[in-house]
């Protein structure tokens, strides 16, 4: 992912009001250090614990898109669960329900899109980890995890933009 400044991200929100986009709190280290190995940026708002953000740009989407997310409230300890983006269950805190209001009038009417995502939004790193010996294809098929991650994240963004 290319470096992007907070002002550009705030202008790229597709499902949030200007005031909410302005209120978004960015991580202290911005932009993150390992951008070249990330397909998207995702983080929970440190000042609003049930709000998170997703920032996606080329090659996942044609242009920079920012999406406001609502995090599902968790009751009790988190359990290991399958992430809908990276298809692993390796995140230390498991996966968590994220819900994005749809863009436009559908979102203002309450329509939303949801799925389970790694709590730390570390899917890009998990998709790039070397496969263990028993996970490799004996026929020599290529490892498509990064491409598949990009497709799934892109499909999520498209669902938010529909309507």
Domain spans in the chain, listed from the N-terminal domain onward: 6-161
**Residue 45, pLDDT score:** 95
pLDDT digit of tens for each residue in the chain (163 aa)? 888 999 999 999 999 999 999 999 999 988 888 888 999 999 999 999 899 999 999 999 999 999 999 998 765 555 568 999 999 988 888 899 999 999 999 999 999 999 999 999 999 999 999 877 777 777 777 889 999 999 999 999 999 999 6
**What distance in Å separates the CA atoms of residue 11 and residue 21, rounded to the nearest whole number?**
8
């Amino acid at each position: 992912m290319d470096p992007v400044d907070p002002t550009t991200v705030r202008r790229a929100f597709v499902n949030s009001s200007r005031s909410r986009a302005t209120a978004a709190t960015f991580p202290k280290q911005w932009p993150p250090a390992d951008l070249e190995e990330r397909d998207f940026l995702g983080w929970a708002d440190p000042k609003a614990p049930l709000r998170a953000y997703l920032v996606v740009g080329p090659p996942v989407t044609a242009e920079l898109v920012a999406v406001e997310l609502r995090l599902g409230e968790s009751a009790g300890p988190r359990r290991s669960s399958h992430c809908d983006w990276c298809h692993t269950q390796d995140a230390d805190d498991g996966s968590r329900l994220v819900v994005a209001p749809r863009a436009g009038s559908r979102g203002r009417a309450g329509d939303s899109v949801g799925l389970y995502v790694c709590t730390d939004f570390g899917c890009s790193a998990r998709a790039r980890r070397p496969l263990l010996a028993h996970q490799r294809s004996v026929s020599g098929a290529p490892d498509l995890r990064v491409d598949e991650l990009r497709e799934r994240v892109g499909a999520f963004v498209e669902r938010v933009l529909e309507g």
